[in-house]
Amino acid sequence: MSKPWILVSPASRGIGHALTRHLLRTTTAPILATARSDLSGVRKSILDSNGSDGDRLDSASSRLHITRLDVTQEPTLESAAAEASSLFPQFTHHLHFALTLPGVLLHPEKSPRDVNYHDALETLRINVLGPLLLMKWFGEFLPRRNTDISLEPLFTNSGNEEPAHATWLTTSARVGSTSDNRLGGWYTYRASKAAVTSLTKTFDLHLQMRCRDSAISIAYHPGTVRTGLSKDYWDRVREDRLFTPEYAARRMVDVVRSRKVAEHRGKFWDWKGEEVLP
């Protein structure tokens, strides 16, 4: 039986940090989390927030692996993938959840005249090429069509039915929806998130050929979360729609666990589990 492992990238702060903590508490799987720098500090921060229970802390510590990865530097992805291959050989393990979260909101342009080439290029490098390079280097770890996936419960609170298939999730944003674009502006960011939706569908078609029903790809809108990316816009959001990273992490996992292969693959979902149209 192939054993599952989880990828969270990046995990140094915000949703990724909260996701890693949440998954350490609620699953039994090993986790490979990524950060650009200060790996020991990120590891300590994640483990410190998991409470003081000795047995639980020992389990979390043994299952947590931190590796350096910067989506703007492809050699770091190649190196991280090599580490994953060493930790989780493909003849014994498969990537069951890939939660890929690279994204920046650096320059929300109001008109085309506000677009700066170099600033726009930086956004596209991180928001578009970042997810694509993660697919390139880590997509091979997803289970093949003939992988014998272990049916042992992955979640400790496994009252809900668990999907047998693996899921590759890429975070997007509702502003990347062309059909939902009512306000305009944010040219580069909107374009980058629209590209994520396209990459998600294209990658899922690849998985259909390579993995059949063993793996799916989805895009995901987490809502507005209290992170550095959205801090300039918190005052424009209703209080009940401004989420903590911890709540955003729980909702993301809940949505992933509820997706079905036939109905949900290759599409764009929000934190409520509702489809966002392209």
**Which residues lie across from 242 on neighbouring strands?**
224
Indicate whether 102 pLDDT > 90. yes
pTM over 0.85: yes
19-55 pLDDT, tens digit per residue, is 999 999 999 999 999 999 999 999 999 999 765 555 6
Q: With cut-offs at 50, 70 and 90, classify the pLDDT of residue 239.
A: low
Enumerate residues 6+ apart whose C-beta is below 8 A from 254: 273
Mean pLDDT of 58-62: 89
Helix (H), strand (E) at residue 121 = helix 117-124
Q: Tell me: pLDDT of 236 over 90.
A: no
Question: How far is Cα 276 from Cα 242, in angstroms, rounded to an integer?
Answer: 19
Looking at residue 125, its pLDDT comes to 97
* Residue 161 confidence (pLDDT) above 90: no
Exposure class string for 112-130: b at 16+ Cβ within 10 A, else e: eeeeeeeebebbbbbbbbb
Predicted local distance difference test score (pLDDT) of residue 234: 56
Give the C-alpha separation, 49 to 246, whole Å.
Answer: 11
What's residue 163's pLDDT? 82
Range in 55-64, 94-103, 130-139, 201-210 the model is least confident about: 55-64
The CATH class given to the 3-270 domain equals alpha beta
| % of the chain exceeding 70 in pLDDT | 91
How does residue 227 score in pLDDT terms, banded at 50, 70 and 90?
confident
DSSP 239: G
Percent of the chain with pLDDT over 90: 80
Q: What is the pLDDT of residue 156?
A: 86
Does residue 73 contact residue 134 with C-beta atoms inside 8 Å?
Answer: no
Residue type at 166? A
* Per-chain mean pLDDT for the chain: 92
For residue 76, give the amino acid letter. T
Q: Cis peptide leading into 10, omega within 30 of 0? A: yes
Q: What are the residue ranges spanned by the domains of the chain?
A: 3-270
Tokens of 123: 């956004």
Q: Which of 46, 4, 29, 20 is nearest to 253 (CA)?
A: 20
Reply yes or no on whether the pLDDT at 160 is more than 80.
Answer: no
Dihedral of CA atoms 210, 26, 264, 6 in degrees, nearest 10, equals: -20
Q: What is the mean pLDDT of residues 127-137?
A: 98
**Angle between the N-to-C axes of helices 39-48 and 54-63, in degrees from 0 to 180, rounded to the nearest 10:** 150
Tokens in use for 81? 């993938």
What is the rounded CA–CA span in Å between residue 233 and residue 258?
A: 30
Cα separation, 10 vs 18, in Å, equals 11
Determine contact, residues 204/136, Cβ cutoff 8 Å. no
